[in-house]
Chains A and B, each alone.
Chain A
Amino acid sequence: MRDLPGLFDVRVKARSLAYLFAAGASLGLLTLAFPHTEEIRDLPLVILAAVAYAIAAAIWALADRVRDWQLHAVLACGTVIISLANYYAGASTLYPILYTWTALYGFYFFPIREALAQMVFLALAYAVVLAVQDAGMVVVDWLLAVGTPAVAGLLISRLLRGIQHHALELRESEERTRLVLDTAPDAFITLDRDGCIITWNAAAERMFGWTREEAVGQKMRELIMPPEHADRHDERRQALVDRNDPLATETYEVELVRRDGRRFPGEATVSRVEERGEVFASGFITDTTERLRRQAEREALLREQAARAEAERVAEMVSGMQALVDAALAHRTLEGILRDLVTQVRGVLAADAAAIYLADEGGRLSAGASSPGGGAVGHEFAIWVAESGEAMLAQADALIGVPLLADDEVIGVLVAGAEPPREFGGEDLTLLRLAGERVGLAIAHARVYEREHRIAETLQRSLLPDRLPDLPGLEVAARYLPAASEAEVGGDWYDVIPIAGGAVGLVMGDVAGKGLAGASMVGRLRSALRAYVLEGHDGGRVVERLNRLLWTEAEESQMATMLYLIVDPAASTVRWVNAGHPPPLVMSRGEARFLEGPGSVPLGVLPFPTYEEATARLDPGDALLLYTDGLIERPGEHLDSGLELLRATVRDAPDNPQGLLDHLLATLVPAGGAADDVALLTLFNLPVPEKFSAEFPAEPESLAPIRSMLRRWLAHAGADDIEIAEITTACGEAATNAIEHAGTSNGAPFEVSGQREGSLVEIAVHDQGSWRSEREDDHGRGLELMRTLMDTVAVQPGEQGTTVSLRRRLGQREGDAS
């Protein structure tokens, strides 16, 4: 059984006991005042009453300091006094009823066991009284006197415990509620019907600065509401109360006033409480200052984050767009622009593939460039985009396309594609739209430029020899590399012109004008030069005439540098005229040297300059290199260093025409192309063999090369000019016969071979036709010439065709003999 804590404090117990003693004493004295039996001895009873008064007074006085055991002792004293009163009053009196007082007090104020102990003491005390009195019915008297207070005490005790228990629970519950309310962070306030405060918890004290005592009973509207909101508060409260809904709850934001007058924002959650027909309003009030501050902070943070994200997005878009525009502007060639663009688009859009389609004059789209693996991304889509003229998405945002515009015309379409999960969106569209216009312009410019470049290059190429002539004993090769950038194409030219008598003219020139104007001037100079050469003028006169042409006919002060070389393989010489051009290079026996000589001004500078020819050896095995300044000019470098670099490069180059030129271009032309046109021409004077054998097509055009070959070979064999001319004439006759025989040999080629032993040279012409002694209209003159000019002429017809063998010993001409 749980021990309940004492309901009463010791002071209450002490004073109650004092009342009890005083009341008992007074009652005892009162009985003496009324008529009573003689048996009763008055004096002892008066003394007892006096003792009781004294004890009552003592306890009252010491009520604050008295202890529980002292109260027990005093109660026991009370029992003794009652017992003494019983003894002195005699058996007939009803004094035992007084025991009830003791019992009731004991059971009321003490725990039940202590009360029972008092009862036992009481029972013993009375038993002693009865035994001393020796009256009749002792047992009955004892039972009645002891049993009555015991039963009454037990009943009181039980009743008291119930009340006590209930009160305790109530008190605990209240305390808990109060504890909860007091520790709650929110103010809890209850109002009565009139708006007066009933409840005011600790949080409310803290929040508003009013203590519970101060607040309770005040009208809330006057205590914590700003005056201007007070009426509104009343209306709300009244509306809530009148709603007659037991579950009605309202939450609203309010402004509140602290005791010090400071105002703060709050949130009130108000409920309607109905109890025993009385309607209250109870509410929690939260100080939302902090919450609002945090909320404001969070909102500010979110706004800042959003602003930053927006700024980053814009920055990214701008930089993406810039990357695309840069790609478009970084190159001057269309191909470069397109190639770089698709790469950049892939990067900027995080796309898997990108492609650019260009519209031709008719508006048809064709592939311009595509990223690696791009293939033909969305050709259909591109057509669609071009037709709509708008940037758009397609295929569930896997494709994005934008028209490239120039002067409001669609000149192409840029398309990019992505694999899931990448999807294109509105921002990508915006970016492409922005870039599209600028990129379109760049492409348009590049196309215009490229068109002019292409025309100039086409014209230029048309002016250069399609193929270089086959020159017996000589090997030539040439390269023309148009300028990579700027409209610098045009202006360089070279030519190889066979000259009567077996020589060959080499031309390398550079007209100062570029583009179409330069190219057309090249055309005029080139045909004029060919005409002058064929007219048989020597080198100096050829160049002087060209100067005259440029001086008189060029629209503005146009000028050109030029080299004209005449290579005579038979004489192993080179003659050259230099009109302000970088000097030609001779490669001889592993060394390279420039042909410096009587240089003169470029063409078109003076009306009548003199151009002189210079001569140098060009032995079999030697080679020549002609070039334009595009090969040697380096920005910021002196021309001499370019020349020296060229010389060094040539020394290490392969010893064959094609290999030499490839090596020079690879070594001296920067990657991405030269700034200016580069033209290269080389001539190798091949070593002359002791024996030769060559096949020629059976046509009249073969005769000139055969003569060139023979002249060179004969010169090397030691023949003088007359011998060369005569033997060449004789062999020409034999070769002419062979060509005439082509009709009987189905056009099969014929062979010319030569060998010598000492001064004896033997040349054989072998064809696959059948011999006829006379050609049409020839009257045998061919054979006559052969026989006259050679020592022996042998004609050997056979199954396999005809062989004409011609022999002559050098140095034994008739004139010499005589």
Chain B
Amino acid sequence: MKPLSLTARISLLFAVSAGLVLLVTSLFLARAVDAHFEEGDRHEVGGKLELIRNLFANARGKAAFDRLPQQLDDALVGHHGLVVEVAESGGNVWYATPGVIFPPTLRQACTDEPVRCAKGLLLQWDQADVGYRGEVLSIVAGDGSPFVVTVGLDVARHESFMRTFMTVLVVAAALAALATAALGWLVTRWGLTPLRQVTDLVGGMSAERLTERLPTATLPRELVPLAQAFNAMLARLDDSFRRLSEFSANIAHELRTPISNLMTQTQVALSVARNAEEYKEILYSSLEEYERMAQMVSDMLYIAQTENGPLQPGPTPVDLAEEARGLFEYFEAWAAERGVSLALSGEAQVAGDRLMLRRAMSNLVANAIRHCPGGNTVKVLLERASGTVSVTVENPGPEIAAEHLPHLFERFYRVDPSRRRMGDGAGLGLAIVRSIIQAHGGSVGVTSAAGVTRFYFELPFA
């Protein structure tokens, strides 16, 4: 099922919550009104009882007793719904509102609990389908004879009022909920306008316009993190796209020269008949060119794999000092021939891919030996700082101009573009170092000052 739109969802939630709040409020209100009515009833009943008690208390002698029913009638005139019964303690009804017969259980209750009845018993009862709320009280007349007085108040009119009141409340609540939903819809539409604007902006973006960014200044605070995250993603995409197209351009450029060399050479070779030795020489020369291209292609593939995949088969402990010693053994003869000595200091262990790390160190050491003047020493320094292990390969020699330093680890970057000697490789050695170290979550760097060039990488310490 298609999820509800945000607007519909929020409007619905508004309506439901408003409805609930109103409903609960209505219930409290109804309860309060009801309680108020009850309080009023009790007050009225209590007042009448007091009046009756006084009348009886002042009645002494027969004449006074004979006047009592008239006095009671007078006292009750105008009190619609008020009913009274006065019974002798024996049970004979002495006086009663005409047409009303009280259930005998009311008096019985008084007989059962005489102590409480002397103070008045609150009761509620039905009589002939009419609900009454009232009180029973035992009183003593002026001549000392006991009576039981019951005063009841017809509550039907309250009940009908409450019913109407509740109906009005519920209808009002429902209408209010609907109104809230409609308002909610409008408010949500209005509130989500920035989101729609962002959507429109994002929708208008394409690979060609990756340099655009969402404006964060005009956005509501809640949307700023989203826009920032999106902008960061755009920046990464833009970077990748740019690097990809640069990379393609680089490859094309790097392959153009050897291929054009090979073509020219082959065409020249074929233009005149030659002897076998000469053909052989041409093939050898081509072979060297092919080898260089093959090396470049496999280096590029290696970088692509390193950049795209996680470590395979997973990190293992690598003793960098041991690797450095192994590399020194490998480069020993070559370095000695160039009059360069090799020195190692420090110890360090990291978790990583041994072959990859060895390759990274090998490229740096080879690079250092190549650029180290005879009679000097290439030093490999292993250091452990808090949380990181750093590997520095340094060689004395001519300094590299500062403008080149930030680009040295880029693919195909050459300090001197016109120089492409044999043995200089395809210009990918340092790019391989960077891709390996980045795959390990580390960083690479280079400094060149005071006659010493230092290439280094830092790895998180496992």
Q: Do A and B bind each other?
A: no
Query: Could you list which residues of chain A lie within 8 angstroms of chain B, going by C-beta atoms?
Result: none
